[in-house]
Amino acid sequence: MAQKVGVDYGKLDVVNIPAPLFRNSFLSHSIDVGIAWSPYSPMLDAQGYHVVNWDIDYTPLGGVCPRTTAVRPAFLKSHPEVGTKLIQVDQMAADAIAKNPQLAVDALVKRLALPREVAEAAIKRLYEPRPTIAQQLDPSSQYSLVSDKGLAANFELATKVLYETKSIPAPVPMNVIKDSIDGSYLKAFAASHSN
């Protein structure tokens, strides 16, 4: 963000606080600006602390916080069926929510104690526009799991930003990122559900 608006990040007084504390920090004038994530962004917006932009507005690649399902490699090696089951469960949830979006809203209200309007905003902003399986398997898609242009590029950019902001000692090399992404489970799922 700082690069996008021409501000030297090194001259900013940056404090790392949990997003749930932003509202109190704004009220006490302890911070002037905050960068949060869902559901805290819609919650702050509903409380009068307006979101001025989203990561898709200022990052190349359309945002650096991809929705990710991850499994430790050793666990997956011992339990190879887990990769497929995670995709099946995710698809079942997506199908159920497509039929009745209120299910997702009700779950966020109940499980995270969010106000209904915040849960609705979070679902509309983050869940409904989620990439399709076809987009994740398309090498030219920004959501691709099978090319360097999609998820891998997002992770690479994220690690560069974390390095530049001194959050990690070095960016993660692209070969390490690529080795950590396995599209085979999604490919198998898509092949078995192509009807």
Indicate the pLDDT class of residue 173, thresholds 50, 70 and 90: very high
pLDDT of residue 66: 56
Indicate the pLDDT class of residue 195, thresholds 50, 70 and 90: low
More confident residue, 40 or 171: 171
What's the rounded mean pLDDT across residues 177-187?
A: 88
pTM of the model: 0.69
Q: Has residue 90 got a pLDDT over 60? A: yes
Nearest to 64 by CA among 170, 135, 162: 162
Indicate the pLDDT class of residue 2, thresholds 50, 70 and 90: confident
Neighbouring CB atoms inside 10 A of 118's CB total 23
pLDDT digits (tens, 9 = 90+) for 112-138: 888 898 889 888 877 777 888 888 899
Gap between the Cα atoms of 166 and 90, Å rounded? 34
Task: Judge contact between 39 and 124, C-beta under 8 A.
Answer: no
pLDDT of residue 172: 94
Q: What is the mean pLDDT of the chain?
A: 85
Identify residue 181 by its one-letter amino acid code.
I
Gap between the Cα atoms of 90 and 96, Å rounded? 10
Q: Has residue 176 got a pLDDT over 90? A: yes
Task: Judge contact between 155 and 177, C-beta under 8 A.
Answer: yes
Task: Judge contact between 87 and 190, C-beta under 8 A.
Answer: no
